[in-house]
Amino acid sequence: PSHSQSKVKLYDLHPSLADFRTEIIKGLQQPQKAISAKFLYDKKGSELFDQICDLDEYYLTRTEMGILKDNAHEIASLIGDGVLVEFGSGSSQKVRIILDAMKQLPIYVALDISVQHLYESCHNLVEAYPDLNAIAICTDYTQPLHLPKIPLIENKYKVGFFPGSSIGNLEPVEVVEFLKNVGKILQPNGSLIIGVDLKKERSILEPAYDDSQGVSAAFALNLLTRINRELKANFNLDNFIYRATYNELGRIEMYIVSLKNQVIKIDDVEIEFKQGELLRTEHSYKYTCTEFQSLAAQAGFQAKCVWTDSQQLFSLHYLTF
Ligand code: AVI
């Protein structure tokens, strides 16, 4: 029996949660209505996103897991005795594929914004890998950040891990800023393993973001339910639909569409929607390998190697800083 509870060290940097009300109202008062994708992930939203990951049409998760499995030994040897730093660790599932292939477990640092999810996931991980040294840092990894002084990892070779193609939900300019920030955390001589969804035919991409069971639609529309509940708003969900389209900018654009002219109240604030008006919930950019490598180069990363699946659906890049 292992007494692993004490093996997770938690540092809570108390990320300032953006003011939900202020950001939502600001987003809805813009000429092109838009809401930041981070607000999709309340409890229900996180559950729906997990369901999306299991959909037949959503090839991303299983394809990336396959690439990780197929190359786990090479990845493990690249990490060696370095410190593995995961950005947005969520439920820390994919990292297990790497840990399973390591001769000696690395020190694992998990960064995530949700303190409870972070701590529970690290705790479960340490249960499964009793010899793992896990450090959980609660922080908003999309904001410029410094790691606290942790003697165990200071001056050690660090390998960043950012799976899931979450990088695709940032605008390209934000990608460069984010990667610069990642580089600062990993330096000197750090490296990064990052999952990036590849450009491909519309006939594969669009169903992945608008599936036959309507889970993707429910995921987006849950944002309105959340606003109704938390901000005393009166969105009628029957008057809105979800739409996802891939366009020549190389991105999936996800929208909520108003089915009629209507005025919504958020507490005492009125928001007008025209029939057919769009509220943007997310962008999901797709990159060729060379497109992504040149973005990464702008942030000071050198492309060392890229792994893909046999159908060229998804890429996993290994970059050094
Ligand atoms: C989290 N992120 C990588 C997902 C994606 O594929 O862009 C978010 C998502 N939204 C709807 N389906 C998936």
Q: Is ligand 1 within 6 A of the CB of residue 168? A: yes
Whole-number Å distance, alpha carbon 141 to ligand 1 midpoint, is 17
The answer to whether the CB of 286 falls within 8 A of the CB of 251 is yes
Give the span between the Cα atoms of 146 and 69, in whole angstroms: 31
Sign of the CA dihedral running 306, 75, 191, 199 = positive
Give the span between the Cα atoms of 92 and 98, in whole angstroms: 11
Sign of the CA dihedral running 42, 193, 157, 92 = positive
Give the span between the Cα atoms of 109 and 101, in whole angstroms: 18
Helix segments in the chain, DSSP class H: 20-29, 43-53, 59-70, 72-79, 94-101, 115-128, 172-186, 202-209, 215-231, 289-298
In degrees and rounded to multiples of 5, residue 85 shows phi and psi of -115, 110
Q: How many CB atoms lie within 10 A of CB 101?
A: 17
The answer to whether the CB of 304 falls within 8 A of the CB of 189 is no
Whole-number Å distance, alpha carbon 121 to ligand 1 midpoint, is 21
- Residue with CA at minimum distance from ligand 1 atom 12: 209
Probe ligand 1: pick from 36, 91, 169, max atoms within 8 Å of CB? 169
Whole-number Å distance, alpha carbon 41 to ligand 1 midpoint, is 11
Structure tokens at 247: 């366009």
ipTM above 0.85, yes or no: yes
Whole-number Å distance, alpha carbon 5 to ligand 1 midpoint, is 32
DSSP 274: -
Give the span between the Cα atoms of 174 and 178, in whole angstroms: 6
In order along its 321 residues, the chain shows pLDDT tens digits of 444 445 899 999 988 766 889 999 999 999 999 998 988 988 899 889 989 999 999 999 999 999 999 999 999 999 999 999 999 887 788 999 999 999 999 999 999 888 888 888 999 999 999 999 999 999 888 888 888 999 999 999 999 999 999 999 999 999 999 999 999 999 888 999 999 999 999 999 999 999 999 999 999 999 999 999 999 999 999 999 999 999 999 999 999 999 999 999 999 999 999 999 999 999 999 999 999 999 999 999 999 999 999 999 999 999 999
